[in-house]
Structures are given as C-alpha cells and as structure tokens.
A and B are shown apart, each in its own frame.
Chain A
Amino acid sequence: MRTRHGLLFLSALSLVTACGDDGGGADADSGASSRGTSSTGGTTESSETTAPSDTDTDTDTDTDTDGPVPNEPVNLDIDAYPFETLSEYHFFQGELGDLVPNDGVISYTVAAPLWADAAEKGRYFVIPEGSSIGFTEENEWDFPTGSVVIKNFYFDQDRGEAEDLRVVETRLLVLEDDGNWQSYGYIWNDEQSEADQTKAGADVYIDYIDEAGDPHSQLYLVPDQNVCESCHQRDDQTLILGPTTRQMNTTWPIGGEGEVNQIEWLVDNGFFAGDVPSAADLPALANPAGDASVDARARAYLHGNCAHCHRPGGAGGSSGLKFAVWVDDPAEYGVCKLPAAAGPGAGGRSYDIVPGSPEMSILPFRMASEDPEVKMPELPSLLADDFGVQLIEEWITQLPGDPCE
C-alpha cells in the first residue's frame, strides 16, 4: 500500500488544480523554507548540502510509513551526476514510489503544459542552499548553477472511476556551470520502487482501462538523452522551458498547504534575488482549458506546445513561424504565411493559417497528424492532442481577416 499512498498524494495535487482556485495569498508563516540571499550561492558544497527544512508537504495524506525512514538530504553534488538510480538523488523522502518531495524540493505547475501523449506530470525544482533565482519577466528564469528540475511522467491506468497511477519516467535537468541544462532520464520499474538511468530511452506500452471499461495499450516513448535538446536548445544553449513568469504565474499548492500564487509564494519564501513585481502586475498565460477568451487560450496553448521551437534560434526557427505569446504580428504566427519547407507537411494547403478556415490551414493539419513526417510537435509525442486541435480550429474559425490570396 505504500506505493499507492504516494501516488494518491500525487493525484491529490492534480485534483486540487482541477477543482480550481481556493484563493488565499502566500502565507509567509507557512513553515515552508525561508531562503537567505546573502550567501554567494551558485556552487554546491558536496553531498553534505542541507536543504531548508520543509516537512509539511505530505499533509494531504495520512501517511502510514512503515517505520521511520532515515531522511537523507537531497544530493546536489552535480559533479557526481548522473547517478544510476533516481533514489540516489534523494529528491523524494521515504520510499521513492511515495513521491513525497524532500526538504527543499519544490512542487510546481505550469499554466499551459506541453502535451505528452496524455501523460500527467509532476514537476519539482530544487536549488542549492543559499542561492537564489534571477527573475526575468519574459524568458526563462535565471537559476543558480547546480539547480535541478525534476519531472515525473505518469499515467492513470484506470480511467474509469478507480484510479491506478503509474510513474513511467523521470526526467532531470541539471544546470551546469557552463550555463546549460544537462538532461538525464530515468525509467521506473513495474514495482514503482526505483527508476534506472537510461541513455537510449525505451518504448513502453501503457496498458490502461478506458472510461467505458475497455482495455487499451498505448505505446509511449521515453526519449533518448540526446533528443532532449530538440526542444530545450535555443541558440546553442540548453534551457529549461517551464519556469518562466507567464507559465508560473498561476496557483498551485506549491508550499504544500493549499493553492497559492506560485510567484508570490516564491517571493515570500526568498527564492528570488532582487525585487519582483506583484504577481497581479505580471503577465500570465491563460489556462488553455480554462474560461479565458479563445484567443488567449489558443495563444497560451501555442506558446506552451510550440514556441520552444518556433521562435528565433529554436529548432523550428527556420520555418519563420513565431508562436511566443508576445508576438503581435499575425503574419509571424502564421496568418497567411507561406510554408518554407513543409514538404508533405503542408497537406496540400498553401498557408499556415487562413483566417476563418481551419480546413485550409496547415497548422491544425499538422497538429492532428500522427505521421512522423507531418505531425507537430515533431517530438517526442506520438499522439495528437485532440483538445489542442479543437482549440486551434476554434481559434482559427473566429480569427478576423480576409482569406489569404
């Protein structure tokens, strides 16, 4: 039952998001970690590094641990990375499968997540003690060297009433002193007790029961290590994608005690160097599945799913398409734009977006495809995101402007 517990905790987090905002600002007295910013930071001090104490992350569950498990601190000695097994990092306390974040490991979410073949994701980061994050409003936050971002990919194997969550893989991004985020991948065992490092990735079959009770098997690709840069590299630098102001400016039980605005909580707990504007004054991506305007939701979706490549310097920069949410010129995000090198990806359509005509637009054609040559994003997913296709078609349908000539 131990394994189930951790997964229930994990699912509890998801449920909280799904149920909306329970209000409340950041609670500076939450007992969560408080960080000094005066230290030099940036360098790890070996495995003896101790993270700030934060022991209240598992209050949603009545944890019945099988006796005391010694809680070793997170190992942030990145020079010793990668470890062969995920447990060696001690990102999670107690049994690994419980996925209870260790002290200093911060659970977070993003407003507009990348589709990953229906996998759900648990996201965490940890930064070295005494260090802090440089705030930027537009691009990726400036994390201190030695920071680690941890992402668990898991599936609900029973999509009916019951819930049967299984973690498939964990991806780490480690900020090395050359300013690049180095990636490492881990594949979980069936017992959900350990995850082993993989370089080549794996083809995994996810067996699940659908809402109607019928069994299915879904191929899921755990990416090989090199492929990470396809999304994460820009201008010869490897970046993280999630922790940006627009993606992080949303609510989440980041401190383990109810939903709060993530940026406010991080400010209140001393994670940033320097002043940060009030979250209310900062830009935010709409929740693509929320109730904002279709334009805001579609642009947020395109930002979260496409803009890491489709921007100058990104892997899809050569297309000339620019999907970052701050791009204002419709021609740059595809309206009446001729494709550059689409090949069969054009699907016989002449423009990326034809206002009012999703059926004449290349964009939803490629999003809906599962042909490796045509599909977008190219990697690493195999399946189309029906929700995203529908959203983009709805958006194009209502876009103003003449049909392209």
Chain B
Amino acid sequence: MTTRTSVLTLSLLALPMALAGCPADDVSGDATESDTEATTSTASTTSGTDPTTGPTTSVAESGSTSVADTSTGGSVELPEGCDYFVSAESETVQEDMLTALVDVEPMEVVCVSEGTFAFTRQLTMPTDDVTLRGAGQDTTIFDFSGQKSGGNGILIEGDRNTIETLTVVETPGDGIRANDVNGVVFRNVTVGWAAEADPTNGAYALYPVQSENVVIDGCVVYGAADAGVYLGQSGKSLIENSEAYGNVIGIEVENSTDVVVRNNNAHDNTNGILIITLPGLDTLDGKRANVHGNTIVNNNTVNFGDPGTTVGILPPGAGVLMVATDTNEVWDNTITGNDSFGVAVVAFLPSLFGDPNDPDFDIYSEGNYVHDNVISDNATTPDQLVLVLNGNQTPGPEVIAGGCFNVDLDQKDPALANCLTVDAEQFFMADGCQQQGGTNTDIAPFTCTQPALPTESPVD
C-alpha cells in the first residue's frame, strides 16, 4: 500500500486553495494552523474589496479541493489498516471527513481519531465496501448538535459498508440511516440523545431500511423519539449483542422478513421490542423474526413519540409487542418488570391505529410462536390503553392475545394459529375486533406449536 498523508494535513493545504483560488501547485507542504487562519481572513478581505461585485459573499467553511491520496507533503503516518485518517485535532474536521468520504474507494478504510467531531452536515456514504472506523466506541464522538442540513447524521447508500467503534450523538433527525443497501454492518456503534424522553430527539438511532444483510452487533442506542434500532422493509438481518434504552421503541422490526434478534438488552424504553407490519408501503409483509436470548425488562418509560405516528400511540410498559405480523418466534427471552404486559400479539386494530386505507394490507397477526420465555413480574400497573384490552385488570395478564381473527382463514389453517406456550394464569384474550363475544382466559386454542425458525445468522 502506498503511503498516504493524513487528511488532516492535506485539508490545511486545501483550505487556502479553495478560499484564494490558488492553483494547487502554489501550495507548499508546510501549512500550519496559523496559515489557515490567515487565509480565512484573506478571503474576507477579498470579498470586500472588489469594486465590481461589492461586499457580497464570504465563504465560512470552504471545501477542500485536494485529495488525500498523494505523495507530496504530509507528516502524519497512517495508522495500520487505514487508507484515510481524519483527526479531531484538525481545524477543518468536517471538510476532512466529507472529502475523505468522497475520495474513499471500495475496499478502503476511513479511520477517525479519538475526540469529538462537530458536524453541521450529514455525512453521506454512497461508495460500496467502505469501512468508517472510529478509535473507540466511547471515545470517537460525532456530535451533530449543530447540524444544519440533512435528515440523518450519517446516510449510507453504498453496499457492504461497515461503521464501527464510534459514537453519534444529538442528530436533529435520524442517527445513522442505511437506505436501500445490500449489506451493512454496525459494530460497536453508539447512537443517542442525552435528553431523557424528549420528543425533540431524533426519531431513529440506527435506521436501516429497504435493505438486506444488515448486521447490528454490539451497539448501544438511547433516547430515540421513535425507535433505537429500526429495521424497516428489510430482509435477512441480524440484530445482536446490543443495548437499547430510553427510546420509545427499543428495537423495532417493521415490514421485515427473516430477522434474528438475539442476545440484546432492551430496557427502560416505552416498548422493548416491537415486531410490526404497517400499511401503505411497497414491502407489505413482515414475518419470521426469530427473537431469542434477549433481556426485555422495565420498559416503562413514558411514550414521548409523536402522537401522529403509530408508535406514538403505543402504551408504555410493553415488553414484546407484535402487530399485524406473521410466523415470528419469541423464545428463551427474559421478559420482566414491564408494567403493562410482557407479550402481546394483536392485529392492526383500526380503532387503535387508524384506518390502514390499503386494500392489500393484512391486519392480522398469524402463526406466531411464543414459548420457553421467562415472563414474570409484568403487568403490575397496566396503561389505560391496555386496560381497555385486558378487561380493566390491575394487575393485568402478562400475555395478551388481541382476539382478532381472519375468520375465513385463521381457524381453518393450523399454520396461521398464534401459539402461545405460557402459563395459563398469565394469559388473556381480548376481544379487539368484537368477534369473540367477549374476552376469555381459555388458553386452549393457543396451545399449539409452530415450526422453529432457523437460529443461525440469516446474513449472507
């Protein structure tokens, strides 16, 4: 590999070029911070002294016009395994980062030093097979509190990117979004908002959507005003070994298929884990989430989501909630201390969620299999909304079936039955669709099994 100078050094070279319009050749390799300051003031002077254009426009932050890949100048050795290096010591960290992400090519690695990086723009990653690597999950911090532009802190559009060992905080919008990618890895990444239960926090911390082969491993997400991990309209993905707390939804799997959610800790959210299918989307199906080995405790945070959204109306105190989703398996989890319920399997009730206004949408949850979990100490003080479902019981049932069935299909096809292998005294069936002639506690119709889902990672 060729030796490359650091982006830090180069940006100090590039800034004067952009501001003063000098040809690249004029710049020596010995730029210093004071050079940068001097050039900035030169630019101001320039803008004020031209009699034809008048005092018009000034460049507050200039783009780099140089590239990182060069053999000239430079004094900082690249760390091992890095093709670009962006240092928090630079006066122009944002330009350095944006430029590195433009210049980086497939199979290359952009490394970032420890320290706090203040960004005012979204970082966009359109290139395939790029790694963005911080120096430590808690020590490389991307601070977007001053962000002026972009709906995300980082937007990934290239396939097979990896983001690892860094923290993203205080994005006005979403933290890190991966849009329409095949392959993305978030490893040891923290994304969050410090303000507790603040509706002005961003909606999603980790937000892969319309993607597949997503891996989320060792991540921490907190404070999201919608979902800490939001996997939307995606397939074949793995969410593991991660912690979600203080979000409205800890981990949300929405309109997604073949997802393994294992060994995570979802605590102190409004709702620990939500498996849901929403109407009006092109990917109008969600099934086969294998949710096991997770700890889902004390998800009793007040719902601070936007009241116009689906999650904004969900009750606090919810452990695992499944809505309009099929053939998921929830097993070997520890589900405790959730004040409204431990597990609920319900339809997309129009009375609760609104009219789906989508003729192709199946509102029912079917073929789900809940078994072999530790479910205890839940439903001690159910939320008002849950009291409507659970027959106004406090403490309430820990496991709730919504009581909505597709009468033409569900009870004729065993594969569509929701099988809830739980203690009979924990169980309650609501009459959510006014089909059942009332609620009941008869678990017999739910005493069945479904085929176990594969436990290996679904990711290629």
Q: Does B279 contact A (CB under 8 A)?
A: yes
Q: Does A279 contact B (CB under 8 A)?
A: no
**Given A230-B155, A343-B306, A320 contacting B282 (CB threshold 8 A):** yes
Closest to A208 in B: B56
Task: List 6 additional contacts besides A166-B53, A379-B122; criterion CB under 8 Å.
Answer: A84-B23, A166-B56, A203-B120, A313-B180, A318-B210, A338-B280
Decide: B46 and A190 in contact? CB cutoff 8 A: yes
Residues of A within 8 A of B174 (CB): 343, 373
Question: In the complex, A139 Cα to B60 Cα: how many Å?
Answer: 38
Decide: B150 and A379 in contact? CB cutoff 8 A: yes
Closest to A219 in B: B148
Decide: A343 and B309 in contact? CB cutoff 8 A: yes
Q: Does A113 contact B (CB under 8 A)?
A: no
Q: Taking the nearest CB of chain B, how far is it from the CB of A89, in angstroms?
A: 16
Q: Taking the nearest CB of chain B, how far is it from the CB of A96, in angstroms?
A: 12
Q: Taking the nearest CB of chain A, how far is it from the CB of B106, in angstroms?
A: 13
Q: Does B329 contact A (CB under 8 A)?
A: no
Contact for B357 among A166, A196, A331, CB less than 8 A: A331
Decide: A380 and B98 in contact? CB cutoff 8 A: no
Closest to A336 in B: B357
A residues sitting closer than 8 Å to B (CB atoms) are: 1, 3-4, 84, 157, 164, 166, 168, 185, 187, 189-192, 194, 196-207, 219, 221-222, 224-227, 229-230, 233, 235-236, 312-313, 315, 317-320, 331, 336-351, 362, 371-373, 375, 378-380, 382, 404-405
Q: Taking the nearest CB of chain B, how far is it from the CB of A59, in angstroms?
A: 24
Contact for B53 among A3, A226, A362, CB less than 8 A: A3
Question: In the complex, A378 Cα to B122 Cα: how many Å?
Answer: 10
Decide: B232 and A318 in contact? CB cutoff 8 A: yes
Decide: A312 and B356 in contact? CB cutoff 8 A: no
Residues of A within 8 A of B59 (CB): 187, 202-204
Q: Taking the nearest CB of chain B, how far is it from the CB of A347, in angstroms?
A: 6
**Given A318-B281, A371-B172, A404-B357, A201 contacting B53 (CB threshold 8 A):** no
Q: Bits for B199-226, please: 1 = Cβ < 8 Å to A, else 0.
A: 1101110010110000000000000011
Q: Does B157 contact A (CB under 8 A)?
A: yes
Q: Does B381 contact A (CB under 8 A)?
A: no
Q: Bits for B131-156, please: 1 = Cβ < 8 Å to A, else 0.
A: 00000000000000001111100010
Decide: B124 and A201 in contact? CB cutoff 8 A: no
Q: Does B80 contact A (CB under 8 A)?
A: no
Decide: B126 and A233 in contact? CB cutoff 8 A: yes
Residues of A within 8 A of B124 (CB): 224, 226-227, 229-230
Q: Bits for B267-298, please: 1 = Cβ < 8 Å to A, else 0.
A: 00000000000111110000000000000000
Decide: A227 and B307 in contact? CB cutoff 8 A: no
Q: Taking the nearest CB of chain B, how far is it from the CB of A157, in angstroms?
A: 6
Question: In the complex, A202 Cα to B203 Cα: how many Å?
Answer: 27
Closest to A2 in B: B52
Residues of B within 8 A of A339 (CB): 308-309
Contact for B173 among A224, A225, A372, A404, CB less than 8 A: A372
Residues of B within 8 A of A185 (CB): 63
Q: Taking the nearest CB of chain B, how far is it from the CB of A42, in angstroms?
A: 25
**Given A229-B124, A350-B308, A405-B355, A187 contacting B63 (CB threshold 8 A):** yes
Residues of B within 8 A of A204 (CB): 57-60
Closest to A374 in B: B173
**Given A202-B18, A344-B225, A168 contacting B203 (CB threshold 8 A):** no
Q: Does B388 contact A (CB under 8 A)?
A: no
**Given A226-B102, A317-B210, A338-B310, A200 contacting B355 (CB threshold 8 A):** no
Decide: A320 and B18 in contact? CB cutoff 8 A: no
Contact for B60 among A203, A338, A351, CB less than 8 A: A203
Q: Taking the nearest CB of chain A, how far is it from the CB of B57, in angstroms?
A: 6
Decide: B305 and A343 in contact? CB cutoff 8 A: yes
Q: Taking the nearest CB of chain A, how far is it from the CB of B67, in angstroms?
A: 8
Decide: A372 and B53 in contact? CB cutoff 8 A: no
Decide: A199 and B24 in contact? CB cutoff 8 A: no
Decide: B307 and A404 in contact? CB cutoff 8 A: no
Nearest 3 interchain pairs by C-beta: A343-B203, A198-B63, A346-B308
Residues of B within 8 A of A166 (CB): 53, 56-57
> Most A CB atoms within 10 A — which of B52, B230, B308, B356?
B308
**Given A190-B53, A201-B121, A337-B357, A196 contacting B46 (CB threshold 8 A):** no
Decide: B355 and A404 in contact? CB cutoff 8 A: yes
Decide: A372 and B21 in contact? CB cutoff 8 A: no
Question: In the complex, A405 Cα to B357 Cα: how many Å?
Answer: 9
Decide: A200 and B94 in contact? CB cutoff 8 A: yes
Decide: A221 and B57 in contact? CB cutoff 8 A: no
Residues of A within 8 A of B226 (CB): 341, 343
Decide: A320 and B21 in contact? CB cutoff 8 A: no
Provide a sorted-by-A list of 6 A–B residue pairs whose CB atoms are within 8 angstroms: A84-B23, A185-B63, A199-B103, A229-B124, A318-B281, A404-B355
Question: In the complex, A288 Cα to B308 Cα: how many Å?
Answer: 30
Question: In the complex, A236 Cα to B281 Cα: how many Å?
Answer: 20
Q: Does B101 contact A (CB under 8 A)?
A: yes
Decide: A343 and B278 in contact? CB cutoff 8 A: no
Decide: B61 and A202 in contact? CB cutoff 8 A: yes
Q: Does B333 contact A (CB under 8 A)?
A: no
Closest to B15 in A: A200
Contact for A312 among B56, B101, B103, B282, CB less than 8 A: B282
Decide: A380 and B63 in contact? CB cutoff 8 A: no
Question: In the complex, A405 Cα to B209 Cα: how many Å?
Answer: 28
Decide: A345 and B53 in contact? CB cutoff 8 A: no
Decide: B306 and A346 in contact? CB cutoff 8 A: yes
Question: In the complex, A225 Cα to B122 Cα: how many Å?
Answer: 12
Q: Does B50 contact A (CB under 8 A)?
A: yes
Question: In the complex, A205 Cα to B225 Cα: how many Å?
Answer: 33
Q: Does B99 contact A (CB under 8 A)?
A: yes
Closest to A199 in B: B102
Residues of B within 8 A of A362 (CB): 308
Q: Does B233 contact A (CB under 8 A)?
A: yes
Decide: A405 and B309 in contact? CB cutoff 8 A: no
Q: Bits for B36-77, please: 1 = Cβ < 8 Å to A, else 0.
A: 000000000011001011111111111111010000000000
Question: In the complex, A88 Cα to B148 Cα: how many Å?
Answer: 33
Residues of A within 8 A of B53 (CB): 3, 166, 190-192
Contact for B62 among A202, A235, A346, CB less than 8 A: A202
Decide: A207 and B282 in contact? CB cutoff 8 A: no
Question: In the complex, A202 Cα to B61 Cα: how many Å?
Answer: 5
Residues of B within 8 A of A371 (CB): 172
Decide: A380 and B149 in contact? CB cutoff 8 A: yes
Residues of B within 8 A of A224 (CB): 63, 98, 102, 121, 124
Q: Taking the nearest CB of chain A, how far is it from the CB of B45, in angstroms?
A: 10
Question: In the complex, A189 Cα to B22 Cα: how many Å?
Answer: 11
Residues of A within 8 A of B328 (CB): none
Q: Does B358 contact A (CB under 8 A)?
A: yes
Decide: B200 and A344 in contact? CB cutoff 8 A: yes
Q: Taking the nearest CB of chain B, how far is it from the CB of A357, in angstroms?
A: 13
Contact for A378 among B47, B151, B254, CB less than 8 A: B151
Contact for A201 among B98, B230, B278, CB less than 8 A: B98
Question: In the complex, A190 Cα to B307 Cα: how many Å?
Answer: 48
Question: In the complex, A192 Cα to B47 Cα: how many Å?
Answer: 11
Question: In the complex, A94 Cα to B62 Cα: how many Å?
Answer: 27
Decide: B98 and A200 in contact? CB cutoff 8 A: yes
